[in-house]
Chain A
Amino acid sequence: MLTLNHFLILSGVLFSIGTIGVFLRRNLITILLSIEIMLNAVNLTFVAAGRYIGTVDGQIITFFVMTVAAAEAAVGLALVISLFRHRETLSPEAFTSLKW
């Protein structure tokens, strides 16, 4: 039988997969993608919780989260472009001029 736990644990797994991206990938765009994975994992939680509780609010919040994700993606990608213009690379290791 399908339970809430299934979905919550799945979302947890997806969420932590998202966090790995920043360490594994040397590409800013992929790192942005991993944030999207995390947001989606949260979405899954919301929908599952809404289903469990019996409210549509979960889905509505998912909708807002998508909006936020879109807005973030727009700004993030703009920043990526801007960074690329400065350094001609997308490796996060290239952007360590600010430190200490």
Chain B
Amino acid sequence: MLLSVIVFLPLAGALLVLLAGGRGDRPEREGTVRAVALGVSLVAFAATLFLWWRFNPAEPGFQFVENHPWMPQFGISYHLGVDGISLFLVVLTGFLTPLSLLCSWESTHNNVKLFSFFMLVLESAMLGVFVSIDLFLFYIFWDAVLIPMYFLIGIWGYERRIYAAVKFILYTMVGSILMLVAIIGLSYAHGTISGQPTFDLQQLYGTALTWQMEKWFFLAFAVAFLIKVPLFPFHTWLPDAHVEAPTAGSVILAGVMLKMGTYGLLRFAYPLFPHAFSYFAPYIALLAVVGIIYGALVAMVQPDMKKLVAYSSVSHLGFVVLGLCSNTIQGVEGAIYQMLNHGVSTGGLFIIVGMLSDRRHTRLIAEYGGLKAVMPRLVACFMIVTLSSIAVPGFNGFIGEFLILLGSFRWMPWMTSVAASGVILSAVYMLWMFQRVNYGDVTNEKNRALPDLSTREWALMIPTVAMAIFMGVFPAIFLRTMEPSVMKVIDLINGVAR
């Protein structure tokens, strides 16, 4: 029951928000609506923490399993469960949603009711993605995520929001809908072997497919997930979506949604099609490495902070994909860890950029400069988040990148060596931006009297910064919990191939 509660609590909260908001767009109810939404998301976060607390780290399989037949005709069931891999993504979702609600506090006044509604619906859908272990159910959540995000970008975004929203939804749909075909095909392929088609992930593992089928199914799955990640060269929707999305949208998009792609690779694409995986893994890894370098280089020359962070995500997620492709314990654990890190640090970066653009209504780096003198506290937080993002040891980012590199080095030393140069480039682009924004003299008079962090913004920054450091100092807490499950997945892949 716990998982169902966690998944549907935000949805119930969303309906509650609609009730609390009354009919129409009523600004006087804004406070109530925000409070309700934030309260619900906090309760959901508490629930995810409770889940973590009750989680048995020694158990490699799924826990808190709920399995009810749903459409028994097709072998579809309402099958939820978490293991060490999804647990933290669930917690991350719970963690970031209140933050993103909070960070839109000042900037979003246009129909807050609807905004909060979509945010909570989005949370539900994302949580659903991470806890579904039935492919059909997974796909439903997977696709359902698109709609609220589409609205968040399209309604509350910036100038080219419609273009970005439409591009976002269509691009990701193209990939995922091919996956749908593959899911169906897989289910029937399983059906022809075992006599009963099923969408249950655990039963589908190890389905003996012909090579042709396995290859194409894998590609369909992989493309869907890689678009979501997004891996070079499927990434171009991301900068647009990020730049145009409201801060909260960017935070969720970068923080959680991109992880849906990498999560999908690890949970579905790789273990379901191990032969195809071992055949294609080098190519995917190659793309990941190209993406690491490419994303960093392109990020370096962006004039727009959000775009810069967006391209940096391309680079960071390249590491994650590389780690996943290595299929070594360190690589995979590092990748999962890096997903969490990226959620915290890039989420934090987007929050900070959002704070700046709340104040100045621009995201162009050139408009800023010398902020450190004006807003020392904000800049201090900015610094920490930046450091976390460029993987300075002691911060969370390092653990992830190090483990990934370590794992993939054992697999493909040369490729990894190239990838490791991303470490240099990330310092270049992040510090360059940081310097242009915060150092030097205040050149633009408009920046002269900007207020420093407000209490609300402290409430945003403290958890982010605390997590960035905590996860850098005590990674074993997380790694230990995910290890049995990761071992299991690796065994699943290795059990058949390699």
Direct contact of A and B (CB under 8 A): no
